[in-house]
Amino acid sequence: MLRNFLMRQDIDIALLKEVTTTESSLIYGCDTHLNVGVDHRGTAIIVKIGLTLTNIKQPQSGRGIAGLFNDT
């Protein structure tokens, strides 16, 4: 369902919170960067293949994630 939404809306970058599973890493055509904490809740950034995130920061709590895209 998430993959269909991302593809239908032609979304390049999606920021997710309250991620509880690693299943979102299986979205075809996308790279997923997950940060799930010890309480099994976390955040994620999903980007289309071909777009590159760098300098990804992931606090141990899982409550945040950050990265650079084209120096932004």
- Given this model, what pLDDT does residue 13 score? 94
Q: What are phi and psi of 13, to 5 degrees?
A: -135, 130
- Given this model, what pLDDT does residue 66 score? 93
Domain that holds residue 32: 2-68
Residue 11 CB neighbour total at 10 angstroms: 13
Count of domains in the chain? 1
pLDDT 10s per residue in the chain (72 long)?
A: 888 899 899 999 999 998 887 666 678 888 889 998 888 889 999 999 999 899 999 998 888 999 999 877
C-alpha dist (Å) from residue 16 to 1, 25: 14, 12
- Given this model, what pLDDT does residue 3 score? 84
